[in-house]
C-alpha cells in the first residue's frame, strides 16, 4: 500500500487522481492539495482524492509518491516548501516541461534518498478545465519519462507500473531533449501567438481589422489566450531553448520575406517561397495522419495517402486501404501537386 499526494488539482492533477482510483491496486490514502478551494472541492466530490489538506507540509509528510501538477513557473516554490517535510525514500514526480531545472532543484533541496522521476503525459485530450478531467485521458497516449540520477529501481518500477495501468506508452528521454521538444511544442506557440496578435492589434486600424478575423487568425493566436503567467514561467526556466526555437522561426520568416520580395521567386512554383509553403503543407498533413514520427535514420518521409485511400482508411484501416488501391509503397508519389502553384 502506498500513500500518494497530488499537489495541483487542475484538470491534469484531477485526471491523475481519477486514474489512480480506477486503475491502480494497493493504494493507500490519496491526498489532494491546491491553493484553490474550488479545485479541492471538485476533486473531492469527483472522488479523485480521498481527502484534502490545507497545509502543504502535512499533505506530503506521510506520502510515498508525490505528483506535482502545477505550472512550470511554480514548481520550484512547491519543491522548496515540501523539501523538509518529505519523508525519506519518497518519490517526487512532476508533470512540468522543465525537467533539467527540476532535476537540479531536487538534487539541491532534497536528501539523496529522494527519487525524482519526471513525467510529461503527452495526451491529445483537451484538458482545459476540471470538467474535462477523466481517468481515461492517458489511455493509448505517450508519456515522456525523465529519470533523476538518484531514482531507485524500486521507485522507477512503481511509477512505470502506475502509468502502465493508466494505459500510457512510455517514452524515456534525456532531460535536455525533453525540454527542447516541450518548449518547441508548448511555449513557442504561445510566444508566436502573442507576437502575432500584438503586431496586428497595435495597428490603428485594429477595430476594423478585427471584423476580418476568422478561422486562420483565430487558430493561429488561440494560445495567446492561455494564462500569461504560465507562459512566462515556462520561459524563465528554459530561456536558452526558447531563444533557439525563436531563432529557427525567425530564420524561416526571413527566408519567406526575402522570397516574397523577389518577384521571380514569388511567382515560381519551384522557388523558395513555394518550397516553404509546400513543405509546411506536407509536414502538417503527416502530423494529422499520424506519420510525422515514422522516419528512418535518413529522415525518409512516409508517403501520404491519396484521397481515395483516406476514405477507405476510415472503414478498413490504412494498410488495407493501401493494398486495395494497389499502391506501390516503395514510391512516394503523393506529395503536394505543385502544378496548383503555376
Residue 104 maps to a domain: yes
Residue 66 maps to a domain: yes
Residue 31 maps to a domain: yes
pLDDT along the chain (342 residues), means of 10: 96 96 93 96 96 96 96 95 94 96 95 92 81 93 94 95 96 96 95 97 97 96 91 93 97 97 93 94 90 64 51 45 46 66 72
Residue 310 maps to a domain: no
Owning domain of residue 169 = 2-173
Residue 144 maps to a domain: yes
The CA distance from 201 to 194, in Å, is: 10
Cell of 18: 481519477
pLDDT confidence of residue 329: 43
Residue 124 maps to a domain: yes
pLDDT confidence of residue 176: 96
Pick from 171, 178, 152: which is nearest to 99 by CA? 178
pLDDT confidence of residue 290: 84
In CATH, what number is assigned to the domain containing residue 109? Answer: 3.40.50.720
Has this prediction a pTM greater than 0.85?
A: no
Domain count, the chain: 1
Amino acid at each position: 500500500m502506498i500513500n500518494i499526494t497530488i499537489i495541483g488539482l487542475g484538470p491534469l492533477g484531477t485526471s491523475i487522481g481519477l486514474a489512480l482510483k480506477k486503475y491502480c491496486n494497493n493504494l493507500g490514502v490519496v491526498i489532494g492539495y491546491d491553493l484553490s478551494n474550488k479545485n479541492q472541492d471538485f476533486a473531492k466530490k469527483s472522488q479523485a482524492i480521498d481527502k484534502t489538506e490545507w497545509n502543504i507540509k502535512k499533505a506530503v509528510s506521510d506520502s510515498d509518491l508525490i505528483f506535482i501538477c502545477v505550472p512550470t513557473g511554480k514548481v520550484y516554490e512547491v519543491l522548496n516548501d515540501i523539501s523538509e517535510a518529505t519523508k525519506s525514500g519518497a518519490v517526487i514526480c512532476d508533470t512540468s516541461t522543465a525537467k533539467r531545472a527540476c532535476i537540479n532543484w531536487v538534487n539541491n533541496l532534497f536528501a539523496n534518498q529522494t527519487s525524482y522521476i519526471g513525467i510529461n503525459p503527452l495526451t491529445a485530450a483537451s484538458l482545459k478545465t476540471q470538467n474535462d478531467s477523466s481517468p481515461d485521458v492517458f489511455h493509448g497516449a505517450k508519456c515522456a519519462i525523465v529519470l533523476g540520477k538518484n531514482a531507485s529501481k524500486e521507485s522507477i518500477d512503481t511509477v512505470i507500473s502506475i502509468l502502465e495501468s493508466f494505459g500510457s506508452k512510455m517514452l524515456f528521454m534525456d532531460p535536455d531533449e525533453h525540454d527542447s521538444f516541450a518548449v518547441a511544442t508548448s511555449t513557442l506557440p504561445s510566444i508566436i501567438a502573442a507576437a502575432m496578435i500584438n503586431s496586428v492589434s497595435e495597428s490603428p486600424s485594429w477595430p476594423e481589422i478585427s471584423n476580418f478575423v476568422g478561422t486562420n487568425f483565430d487558430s493561429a493566436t488561440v494560445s495567446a489566450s492561455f494564462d500569461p503567467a504560465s507562459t512566462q514561467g515556462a520561459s524563465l526556466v528554459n530561456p536558452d531553448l526558447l531563444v533557439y526555437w525563436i531563432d529557427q522561426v525567425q530564420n524561416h520568416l526571413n527566408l519567406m520575406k526575402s522570397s516574397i520580395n523577389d518577384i521571380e521567386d514569388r511567382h515560381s512554383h519551384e522557388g523558395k517561397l513555394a518550397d516553404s509553403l509546400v513543405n509546411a503543407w506536407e509536414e502538417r498533413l503527416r502530423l494529422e495522419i499520424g506519420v510525422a514520427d515514422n522516419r528512418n535514420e535518413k529522415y525518409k518521409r512516409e508517403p501520404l495517402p491519396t484521397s481515395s485511400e483516406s476514405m477507405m482508411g476510415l472503414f478498413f484501416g490504412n494498410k488495407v486501404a493501401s493494398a486495395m488501391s494497389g499502391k506501390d509503397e516503395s514510391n512516394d508519389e503523393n506529395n503536394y501537386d505543385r502544378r496548383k502553384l503555376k
